[in-house]
Structure 1
Amino acid sequence: MSDTQIPLPERLRPRDLSEIIGQDHLLGENAPLRQMIDQGHLPSIIFWGPPGVGKTTIALLLAQAVDRPFISLSALNTGVKELREVIAESGDLLAPVVFIDEIHRFNKSQQDALLNAVEKGKITLIGATTENPSFEVNSALLSRCQVYTLNALSNESIQELIQRAIQTDKFLKERHIQIEEYDALIQFAAGDARKALNLIDLIASTFEVDVENIVNNAVVVKVAQQNIARYDKSGEQHYDLVSAFIKSIRGSDPDAALYWMARMLKGGEDPVFIARRMLISASEDIGNSNPNALLLAGECFRSVQVIGMPEARIILGQCAVYLATSAKSNSTYLAINKALELAERTANLPVPLHLRNAPTKLMKQQGYGVDYLYPHNYPEHFVLQEYLPPELKGTKLYESARNKREVEGERLQQRRWQQNQQQQ
């Protein structure tokens, strides 16, 4: 592979801790990590910070600085079995540094598998997470690690990074790039070094060699909008993919639902996020046409949290197919929205006396609960009485969809509606 085929962030990956940009609070003179490395000491660490701030690179360079073997794993495709194999094999090495990217996606059993190895010093763990480790990392494991927060790169750091790139990278140097404006570059990078470098690399690929090429805001916006999916998988494309996934379920197309789900999983999407969206769809798009859908989606959500990837893909796939092939109804979704809108407009209406709770004698004397008709005392456990404030009598919020399950459940509702109409 030629140098130009290697992505710019990889071509410019720092080879020494002194080359890291933007994390001086950890790596600057007299900073905590710098002091530990100078003393030849490296504890287990959790790095918490947004994407593209150097978590992986710093972990690698820390291992090199203390002359320890480095093993890199991803929580997306490492199960308990693979994790235990790595720990077992590490027994032949000098307490290797085991780096686990996106450690927050490990479930409890996977994190527990690390605990004994960390306790006994078989490995030095460096975990990277974009989520608050207090919520996402096992407390027992967390207590054995130092937690360090990495910051998004400042505007000045992004400018420094881009200047270093155009001055040192062979491919960029040949294009004689002059930066006239940084505003758009900084905006699209959003503190992420990887985004910034990928973007300037894309821009440079549109330039000719050995002529002066100007980069201004207009040039950046044009290139970024044409190629956004190539350098920002967590931005607009993230929302487009999940939108296509949910619409495929709503449209009863299991093949498309599985395809878009696979695209999300391959792109590194959090499986818990996918399960959460299916849980919402089970109520919004299927509702009472098939109440079991909500139960299955709820169990899918819980199971994915416990199982983790890669096995969670099986559970996600089962749930997606079930939801896509289920009967559909959004009647309850529409009804609750109508109810909320009505409640906002009529929040001053009092509860009718016969519906009020009457726990004290005084309340009973004031008529609380009087004339309430207990439905179970009547045939078919139904009796006609008004449950809305008088001002809202006859209001209908729920309209059942014309499917078997909801039609069966609307018999008493229709009876109440008809009797109300007769009394008016």
Structure 2
Amino acid sequence: MIQQALEKDLDLKKIKVELVETDALLRISGGDGRKLLNLLEIVVDGINENPCLITNEKVMQIAQQKVALSQCRSLLAGKDDRGRRRCQIHRKKVGDIGIRRHRQCQSNALLLATNCFEAVKIIGYPESRIILSQCVTYLASSPKSNAAYLAINQAQAMVREKGDLSVPLHLRNAPTKLMKDLNYGKAYQYSHDFPGNFVIQEFLPDEIKGTKFYEPGDNAREAELRKYLSTKWKGKYGY
């Protein structure tokens, strides 16, 4: 496959490449043809000589310089691109990136990370390095908040402590007469029937009613959220 690539690839054909040793190429690529070809291109670019003499030592050196050996298998345009997965982690860990406004709009950090994730899958490395760079610098420079992270942790801890609590009766559907007789759905207030499409009512089980899980972080956007929640809930949760 390597020889075939050297003979048919338009860019590689321009350079005289001599495969002195191939063990490192095959070992790092793990037998994956696409990874092997991408690694070959990276190595040739890294050696930047004509003729280009490829040895195990040069391959290992360039692999360490370009992608760090510990990431080599995943970064070379494979299915588990390390940078792509890191952006995916940022996408999943919403608590790392604060809820914020950017030019009067909601932050698009999650959207950007998701698009980056998909783009890298399609384009592959090394071309995707620019996309990764743009996404990483955006995420890294975004205001940080762990408010959502703390909120979900507290909610999960509450579930573990209290177990499977009952849904309040007024929130339950009542498709049968028996359920109606048991007061399922009684006194439920439909938010869209009220000004601002909001109405104060309890959504938590009786055992934990009034519990506040989300505490807005210390940043401009979440300060706005705190003010909004305080206005809506009228002091119910101490915002």
Give the alignment's TM-score, normalised by structure 1.
0.38
- 1:338 maps onto 2:147 in alignment: no
| Match for residue 276 of structure 1 among 85, 89, 92 | 85
Distance 1:366 1:104 in 2: 63
Deviation at 1:269, TM superposition (A): 5.5
Q: Which amino acid aligns with 2:201?
A: Q
- 1:389 maps onto 2:198 in alignment: no
Deviation at 1:374, TM superposition (A): 0.9
The aligned residue for residue 181 of structure 1 is none
Distance 2:117 2:69 in 1: 15
Deviation at 1:302, TM superposition (A): 0.5
The aligned residue for residue 347 of structure 1 is 163
Distance 2:227 2:189 in 1: 20
The aligned residue for residue 418 of structure 1 is 235
Q: Which amino acid aligns with 1:279?
A: Q
Where 1:410 maps in the other structure, the secondary structure is helix
Cα deviation digits, residues 43-80 of structure 1 (max 9, x gap): xxxxxxxxxxxxxxxx9xxxxxxxxxx5287xxxx9xx
- 1:407 maps onto 2:211 in alignment: no
Distance 2:67 2:192 in 1: 52
Where 2:163 maps in the other structure, the secondary structure is coil
Deviation at 1:348, TM superposition (A): 3.0
Say if 1:265 and 1:414 are closer, same or farther in 2 by CA, change over 3 A: farther
| Match for residue 288 of structure 1 among 89, 93, 99 | 99
Cα deviation digits, residues 173-206 of structure 1 (max 9, x gap): xxxxxxxxxxxxxxxxxxxxxxxxxxxxxxxxxx
| Match for residue 123 of structure 2 among 285, 307, 310 | 307
Deviation at 1:319, TM superposition (A): 0.5
The aligned residue for residue 56 of structure 2 is none
Distance 1:72 1:302 in 2: 30
Say if 1:104 and 1:300 are closer, same or farther in 2 by CA, change over 3 A: farther
Deviation at 1:414, TM superposition (A): 2.2
Confirm or deny: 8 A CA contact 2:174 2:184 kept in the other structure: yes
Cα deviation digits, residues 359-418 of structure 1 (max 9, x gap): 334323322211111111111222111111121122111111122222222334324261
Where 1:362 maps in the other structure, the secondary structure is helix
Which blocks of at least 5 consecutive residues in structure 1 are unaligned?
1-58, 60-69, 90-98, 108-125, 128-229, 234-258
Confirm or deny: 8 A CA contact 1:289 1:329 kept in the other structure: no
Distance 1:409 1:420 in 2: 13
Distance 1:265 1:295 in 2: 30
Deviation at 1:293, TM superposition (A): 0.7
Deviation at 1:339, TM superposition (A): 0.8
Where 1:371 maps in the other structure, the secondary structure is coil
Deviation at 1:270, TM superposition (A): 2.3
- 1:359 maps onto 2:170 in alignment: no
The aligned residue for residue 46 of structure 2 is none
Say if 1:305 and 1:318 are closer, same or farther in 2 by CA, change over 3 A: same
Q: Which amino acid aligns with 1:71?
A: Q
Deviation at 1:327, TM superposition (A): 1.3
Map of 1:145-224 to 2, 5 A cutoff? Answer: none
- 1:316 maps onto 2:127 in alignment: no
Q: How many pairs were matched up?
A: 189
Where 2:125 maps in the other structure, the secondary structure is coil
| Match for residue 3 of structure 2 among 71, 83, 88 | 71
Q: Over alpha carbons, which structure has the higher Rg?
A: 1
Say if 1:377 and 1:267 are closer, same or farther in 2 by CA, change over 3 A: closer
Distance 1:350 1:106 in 2: 53
Q: Percent identity?
A: 41
Where 2:3 maps in the other structure, the secondary structure is strand
Deviation at 1:278, TM superposition (A): 2.1
The aligned residue for residue 85 of structure 1 is 10
Q: Which amino acid aligns with 1:346?
A: K
**Structure 1 range deviating more: 296-305 or 274-283:** 274-283
- 1:373 maps onto 2:182 in alignment: no
Distance 2:114 2:34 in 1: 20
